[in-house]
């Protein structure tokens, strides 16, 4: 695009290509994921997976090559990341210290599902804040990370304004974070963050695969009072609050912050907790536990 001198506005289509979604892998009907509970009940579920089977899938990731050819996972990601550094990145910028860039990406992989705080990452790597922000922008523009925006409007005065980082492929994140098998991964302190990353990615793919700009529909919420909602889906001017829990039976604490949406000056939809439960279970008339197989 940089090499083209004239504007292509109105004459070009841009496709964002993510890894394979679970529905694509299983050849199931791919529908836009809207959290309205009646809509969810009509969806075809993907195959149920035990916790270890799910983490095996998370550890493998979603790059198509891993599903069309038998490849050793660690070797695949090693080759992929080396090619990414030597080809893609060097076309964009001249990295004076390649080792610091690799440490930066690995540090972000360990922070997937967290807010991006430039000072924290920069001090750990030994770079300045400006460089950290510039490198993050490169990772976003080359499709390695997705930046989830905080929900903001005139009625939300105390909301945190930082973006949350999600690696767009869980397999690459696990590789960069240093995990070598899915059993260790599931038992680790990283397991909750990578579970959330997997779920958020599946929802992003649902929107992108239907020609929707996920950035216009997906947000998160956290305020200065430490009230947080993992994900907000704003669709057709209705906001649906979503929590993401690895548990098979998350308690009512999971929905304790959903009432924050009442102050957003917009219509509130039902709330859901995406988790490892096997069936849809109602907390009350407006909030539900929902199996992840409905995404």
Name the residue range of residue 44's domain: 22-294
Q: What is the pLDDT of residue 157?
A: 58
pLDDT > 80? residue 197: yes
Query: What's the pTM?
Result: 0.94
* 243 occurs within a structural domain: yes
Q: What are phi and psi of 47, to 5 degrees?
A: -65, 140
The count of residues in the chain is: 295
- Which of 151-160, 166-175, 176-185, 217-226 is the least confident region? 151-160
The DSSP result for 180-239, as a single string, is: --HHHHHHSTTHHHHHHHHHHHHHHHHHHTTT--GGGTEEEEEBTT--EEEEEEEETTEE
Compute how many other C-beta atoms are within 10 angstroms of the C-beta atom of residue 35: 25
How far is the CA of 214 from the CAs of 11, 25, 154, in angstroms? 22, 21, 22
- pLDDT tens digits for range 58-73: 999 999 999 998 889 9
Query: In which element (H, E) is residue 241 found?
Result: strand 238-244
pLDDT > 70? residue 291: yes
Rounded to the nearest integer, the mean pLDDT of the chain is 93
* 13 occurs within a structural domain: no
* 112 occurs within a structural domain: yes
Span 151-160, average pLDDT = 71
* 128 occurs within a structural domain: yes
The DSSP result for 107-159, as a single string, is: HHHHTTTSB--HHHHHHHHT--HHHHHHHHHHHHHTTSEEEEEEP--TT--SB
- pLDDT tens digits for range 1-22: 667 778 788 888 878 889 999 9
Domain count of the fold of the chain: 1
pLDDT band at 120 (very low <50, low <70, confident <90, very high): very high
Span 48-58, average pLDDT = 97
* 3 occurs within a structural domain: no
Percent of the chain with pLDDT over 70: 97
pLDDT > 90? residue 279: yes
pLDDT band at 167 (very low <50, low <70, confident <90, very high): very high
Max CA pair span of the chain: 58
Contact between 284 and 253 under an 8 Å Cβ cutoff? The reply is no
Q: Provide the total of helices (H) and of strands (E) in the chain, helices listed first.
A: 12, 9
Contact between 275 and 291 under an 8 Å Cβ cutoff? The reply is yes
* 2 occurs within a structural domain: no
* 133 occurs within a structural domain: yes
Q: What is the pLDDT of residue 13?
A: 81
* 144 occurs within a structural domain: yes
Q: What is the pLDDT of residue 64?
A: 95
Q: What is the pLDDT of residue 154?
A: 62
């Amino acid at each position: 695009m940089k090499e083209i001198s004239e504007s292509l506005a109105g004459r070009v289509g841009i496709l964002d290509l993510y890894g394979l979604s679970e529905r694509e892998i299983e050849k199931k009907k791919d529908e836009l994921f809207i959290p309205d509970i009646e809509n969810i009940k009509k969806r075809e579920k993907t195959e149920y997976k035990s916790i270890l089977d799910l983490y095996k899938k998370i550890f493998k990731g979603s790059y198509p090559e891993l599903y069309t050819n038998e490849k050793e996972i660690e070797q695949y990601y090693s080759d992929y990341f080396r090619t990414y550094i030597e080809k893609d990145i060097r076309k964009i910028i001249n990295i004076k210290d390649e080792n610091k860039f690799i440490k930066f990406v690995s540090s972000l992989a360990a922070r997937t599902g967290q807010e991006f705080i430039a000072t924290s990452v920069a001090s750990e790597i030994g770079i300045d804040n400006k460089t950290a922000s510039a490198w993050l922008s490169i990772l976003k523009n080359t499709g390695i990370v997705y930046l989830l925006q905080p929900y903001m409007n005139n009625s939300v005065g105390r909301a945190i304004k930082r973006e949350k980082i999600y690696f767009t492929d869980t397999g690459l994140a696990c590789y960069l974070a240093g995990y070598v098998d899915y059993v260790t991964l599931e038992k680790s302190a990283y397991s909750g963050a990578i579970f959330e990353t997997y779920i958020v990615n599946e929802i992003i793919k649902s929107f992108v695969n239907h020609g929707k700009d996920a950035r216009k529909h997906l947000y998160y919420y956290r305020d200065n009072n430490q009230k947080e909602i993992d994900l907000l889906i704003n669709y057709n001017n209705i906001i649906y609050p979503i929590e993401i829990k690895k548990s098979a039976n998350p308690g009512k604490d999971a929905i304790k912050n959903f009432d924050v949406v009442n102050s957003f000056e917009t219509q509130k939809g039902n709330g859901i907790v995406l988790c490892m439960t096997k069936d849809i279970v109602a907390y009350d008339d407006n909030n539900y536990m929902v199996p992840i197989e409905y995404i």
